[in-house]
Chains A and B, each alone.
Chain A
Amino acid sequence: MSDTTNQTPKKETSMRRRMLAEFWFYFSENKGAVVGLALMVLLVFIAIFAPIVAPHDPIQQYRDALLVPPVWQDGGDWRFLLGTDAVGRDMLSRLIYGARFSLFIGVVVVGLALLGGVTVGLIAGYYRGAVDTVIMRIMDVILAFPSLLLALVMVAILGPGLLNAMIAIAIVLQPHFVRLTRAAVLNELNRDYVTSARVAGASPFYLMTRTILPNCLGPVIVQATLSFSNAILDAAALGFLGMGAQPPTPEWGTMLAEAREFILRAWWVVTFPGLAILITVLAINLMGDGLRDALDPKLKRS
Chain B
Amino acid sequence: MSIAINAVDLKKHYEVSGGMFRQPGLVKALDGASFTLEAGKTLAVVGESGCGKSTLARLVTMIETPTAGTLDIEGKPADSSSVDHRKAVQIVFQNPYSSLNPRHKIRTILEEPLRLNTDMSAQERTKRAAETMERVGLRPEHIERYPHMFSGGQRQRIAIARALMLNPRVLVLDEPVSALDLSIQAQVLNILADLQAELGLAYLFISHDLSVVKHIADDVMVMYLGKVVESGAAKDVFANPQHPYTKALLSATPNADPVAKKERIVLTGELPSPLNPPAGCAFNPRCAHASDQCRASAPRLDKLGDIEVACFHPVG
Contacts and interface: CB of A to CB of B under 8 A. Distances in A.
Instruction: Please determine whether chains A and B interact with each other in the same assembly.
Output: yes
Interface of A: 1-2, 4-6, 8, 191-193, 195-202, 206, 211, 214-215, 297-298, 300-302
Contacts, number: 75
User: Ordered nearest first, which 5 A-B pairs have the shortest CB separation?
Assistant: A192-B99, A5-B144, A200-B113, A192-B93, A214-B103
A198 B103 CA distance: 17
A193 B146 contact: no
B148 A298 contact: yes
Interface string B97-112: 0111111000000001
Contacts of A195: 63, 91, 93
Given A2-B141, A5-B144, A199-B61, A297 B102 contact: yes
Given A201-B83, A202-B116, A298-B148, A215 B102 contact: yes
Contacts of A215: 101-103
Contacts of B166: 200
Contacts of A214: 103
B157 interface: no
A191 B98 contact: yes
Contacts of A193: 98-102
A211 B95 CA distance: 18
Contacts of A2: 141
Contacts of B94: 192
Interface string B77-105: 00000010010011101110011111100
A196 B91 contact: yes
Given A192-B93, A297-B146, A199 B102 contact: no
B34 interface: no
B117 A200 contact: yes
Contacts of A201: 83, 86, 113, 116-117
B102 A8 contact: no
A211 B113 CA distance: 13
B162 interface: yes
A69 to B, nearest CB: 54
A301 B113 CA distance: 27
